Amino acid sequence: MNLSSTESAADAIRSGRGRLGIELGSTRIKACLIGDDPRDVLALGSFTWENSFKDGLWTYSLPDVWAGVQAAYADLVANAERRYGVRPRALEAIGISAMMHGYLAFDGEGELLVPFRTWRNTTTGEAAAELTGLFGVNIPLRWSIAHLHQAVLDSEPHVPRIDFTTTLAGYVHWCLTGRKVIGVGDASGMFPIDSATHDYDADLMKRYNALVAEAAPGMDLSRLLPQVLVAGEKAGRLTEAGAALLDPSGRLQAGAVFCPPEGDAGTGMVATCSVAPRTGNVSAGTSIFAMVVLEHPLAQVHHELDLVATPAGAPVAMVHCNNGASELASWARLFTDFSAAAGVPVGSDTAFNALLQEALKGEADAGGLLAYNYLAGEPIAGLSEGRPLFVRAPDSSFTLANFMRAQLYGAFATLILGMRVLAQENVGIDRMFAHGGMFRTAGVAQRFLAGALNAPVSMAESASEGGAWGIAVLAAFVTDTTANLDEYLRDSVFGGAAFETANPDPADSAGFTKFLDRYSAGLAVQRAAVDTLTLKGLPR
């Protein structure tokens, strides 16, 4: 990405040629405004938020959604005015992205029937197992259809009143445009997609309707799910009501065209130019996941692998881990608090950077230390709930450097367990890219990921702000004449772009293998912790 010159940026904003991307991530809502050249970032905005754990479920309230979206957009507007002396009053195109999957169910009046159930919840085991058997396709616990079917199995009172279900991105898009649509990548986390039609699998939809005919009379998925669109299709325009919702100041005009709303996995693929077969990327945030675009179908069903889609509809194998960098951030906050208590306070970014740099000094296998980052349940590890743990033996080398290396290794460990299954399917990968906040400290997490994968890992300049920029690029693609998304990205967005590549250090790879062997054996301790340590307010 390039920072645009003052004069050209001001003209693009003043003339209403800006393309806005908003992504609702797990801990930050980010807004990104780009200009005529998708690589030119005109302004950025953000808002920090957190999920809450209520009545045994992870959720965000809808008022918090809109407070956060409005704050992120207002922050972007203020950033534009500080830099160029001009505020956007009109936009050419807008895109909405958000954390994928989960469950948002509405009645015929548009009222939310139950609190938003996010991807982080692992209460859908019975439903996911039944649907995996019925469909012959892995149905992860976090998918929307698993949440819907679990509600049917549990005879939840709201089920007969459901008129519409969607994802978080689909919901925000609906409110801003009035259209109940969804991008094919995000849709692939709601219900299995037919890669030939780029739509929900019609045969599997019929099977499901028949399955619940008695338990949920009249339920028809084709009526409940949003319409599927692919990248490049126009997905509506900003309405007057939508403009007032996004910008309560009343300055923003209606009329901007929208791209299909997408999930954060899809925007990560766009932000790393990873939408062609044999390309892949790793996104590290609150969750961590790898996306690999397939050139042939998988031979078997694996619970560790999801079959999803690129924003253009190409099939993708996804290794999704519920737990990513949150535990690492918690330890960084602890050290920040210590610095304040010691009378030498440092900022959170300074602390985080110092701790990650210290990890470089650690032993290749983290000195025998183990760190489990399971704040929430982790299906790949067979855990229904999370209990973060740090474990060491009496003869472990307990140093700050080894401690931090163990924390970073722990953030990647479950992902690598899933990637090993992908390797067993002989899935070829020519390029692996990384993006997300964990990689903002240069040369640390990227190096350790390369060692863990035992493969080169590349990063572009967009790595730390990838999602919001990625959906802004998809918004720009709607206004472009290029028919092929991969061609558009390679030629118009990443042509001539510089990538920083970390090759695996043999010592790191050997050390991580030793760490992962201990980590896998130690999962028995993790399971015992789930069985014996109760959550506050939730007795066994």
The pLDDT, as a whole number, for residue 465 is: 56
pLDDT band at 343 (very low <50, low <70, confident <90, very high): very high
DSSP 8-state class, residue 461: T
Residue 289 lies in a domain: yes
Percent above pLDDT 70 for the chain: 97
Residue 439 lies in a domain: yes
Residue pLDDT, tens place only, 347-387: 998 999 999 999 999 999 999 999 999 998 998 999 989 99
Q: How many C-beta atoms surround the C-beta of residue 197 within 10 A?
A: 12
Q: What is the mean pLDDT of residues 71-92?
A: 97
Contacts of 39 (CB under 8 A, 6+ apart): 1, 2, 493, 497
Q: What is the mean pLDDT of residues 129-140?
A: 96
Mean pLDDT of the chain: 93
Strands 227-229 and 164-166: unpaired
Task: Quote the CA–CA distance of 147 and 107 in Å, as a whole number.
Answer: 16
pLDDT band at 6 (very low <50, low <70, confident <90, very high): confident
Q: How many C-beta atoms surround the C-beta of residue 202 within 10 A?
A: 12
pLDDT band at 540 (very low <50, low <70, confident <90, very high): very low
Is the predicted pLDDT of residue 401 greater than 70, yes or no? yes
DSSP 8-state class, residue 532: H
Residue 69 lies in a domain: no
Lowest mean pLDDT among 51-60, 142-151, 188-197, 459-468: 459-468
Q: What is the mean pLDDT of residues 128-155?
A: 96
Q: What is the mean pLDDT of residues 487-496?
A: 90
Is the predicted pLDDT of residue 2 greater than 80, yes or no? no
The pLDDT, as a whole number, for residue 536 is: 66
pLDDT band at 464 (very low <50, low <70, confident <90, very high): very low
Domain of 299, in residue numbers: 274-459+499-532
Is the predicted pLDDT of residue 213 greater than 90, yes or no? yes
pLDDT band at 524 (very low <50, low <70, confident <90, very high): very high
pLDDT band at 393 (very low <50, low <70, confident <90, very high): very high
The CATH number for 358's domain is 3.30.420.40
The pLDDT, as a whole number, for residue 497 is: 79
Residue 90 lies in a domain: no
Alpha-carbon separation of residue 65 from 91, 102, 162, 164, 245 (angstroms): 22, 15, 21, 19, 11
The pLDDT, as a whole number, for residue 1 is: 43
Task: Quote the CA–CA distance of 389 and 515 in Å, as a whole number.
Answer: 15
3-state class (DSSP) for residue 318: strand
Residue 20 lies in a domain: no
Q: Give the 3-state DSSP-derived string for 154-183, with helices as H, strands as E and coil as C.
A: CCCCCHHHCCEEECHHHHHHHHHHCCCEEE
Residue 140 lies in a domain: no
- The structural domain count of the chain equals 1
Task: Quote the CA–CA distance of 413 and 211 in Å, as a whole number.
Answer: 37
Residue 398 lies in a domain: yes
Is the predicted pLDDT of residue 530 greater than 80, yes or no? yes
Q: What is the mean pLDDT of residues 256-273?
A: 94
Residue 7 lies in a domain: no
Residue pLDDT, tens place only, 422-438: 999 999 888 789 887 78
Lowest mean pLDDT among 3-12, 176-185, 222-231: 3-12
Lowest mean pLDDT among 134-143, 224-233, 459-468, 506-515: 459-468
pLDDT band at 463 (very low <50, low <70, confident <90, very high): very low
Q: What is the mean pLDDT of residues 70-90?
A: 97
The pLDDT, as a whole number, for residue 18 is: 97
Q: What is the pTM of this model?
A: 0.85
Task: Quote the CA–CA distance of 310 and 276 in Å, as a whole number.
Answer: 9
